[in-house]
Chains A and B, each alone.
Chain A
């Protein structure tokens, strides 16, 4: 019953978000687009760090690679950016294989530093790609975004300018990506593999003894999140229209913010990133007049959460109310022997 209520709630929110562009608030749509993209990244990082125990500080690698491949597809190979983005995601996933080969040899903190070093290598290497502007970067060719499939349709139906139509399309795609990520992570976490993953997180020795192979599971999560992160990266830079190595491989924008979002919202919970992104957006809008103050507040908030509420705002909320929007636990089957418990 609770489950149905929760899903209904989400459905209403998604529909509400979906119709926002129809009211023509372009600035809001652009803002929300970024929020949705950060949410996608946060959901991915939460899968990595919160469920698979892989604390990566290098997810900007996959954002950047997805974005750069999309640019290469659009500029060098003349493909449309959406197809380019899909290829970007695939390339990110393929690249994750050798990266995993390297970073999976490292434990804990070494893993974090290793992923970051690899992302730096990628940033510096892409700076050498002269055809895409080297260190200064480049812009999408005029019209490339406007020629994307769907843009013309939106223009015809809604009668808006090409730029507004591009914004709408990318917004809806981002929203779709969020929904897809939510559904996929929920299904994955409730599957045999997902339960195995959580078992590994909670007790690696016991999990291994019942036949869960932690490395394979973690590698799978690493590859899948690389794919989703790459696609999201491409989408972000379709909307932005400009790319440079520093912006595409920014550890602050694509990893630091994302980590704070997840930590503040509640690491290792599904709704956590959603709460976190709302807090992030709220802070950013509230403190937009005070320069980087919101970053300081964000950092302090992250520290406070880690000190006093390790499961973040959502974890604190569920603890207080006992209500969980997207429960991951399987309800244990009612057993006839329940009454005998405690006697043995």
Chain B
């Protein structure tokens, strides 16, 4: 399995505050990777650093063998990394369809994902496509946000806290779309506080704490205890 996205020694700061301490991560072609950890562990910062929104202070990010960490956020999207941001972040003055269309803003040529395919994936969006995006429920907004990120036909899809603030039944509905997304050839990184959901979809799981990866492995190989300890920062010596 060849590495699609390779992160090494990644360090990032928020002003004077260091949020990431030399994070290493490898994502293979078509793979799904989960990053779990408590609030403030640095998961979102990692996502923002990969997409070019947070300033990378040291380390490298390579996609398909090309370094992308020096690029700006719009160019990183063009390189093939798309994000579903935490809190969904739909554009309030755009309709549902326009929110989806703007995901394809930088797209050149065609790919698997287009408006019709996204509407197939989340049929409820087809009915609401002309409504203002603010009129949707939280779950539907999350679907728009995922669809919007897919519209650029990314090779890597980053999902930041998909389940935040959503009811369990809605979360299951959203994660039900993952097999289709994987089949389209997109590699996925999900960032979650909801461990159960993350373990179900992921090939590999990484636990983060205080800006470092403290535990990595396949979901089947990791014991519940080990994950819990890594999550809450308990060390056995």
Find out whether A and B make contact in their complex, taking CB atoms under 8 A apart as touching: no
Interface residues of B (CB under 8 A from A): none
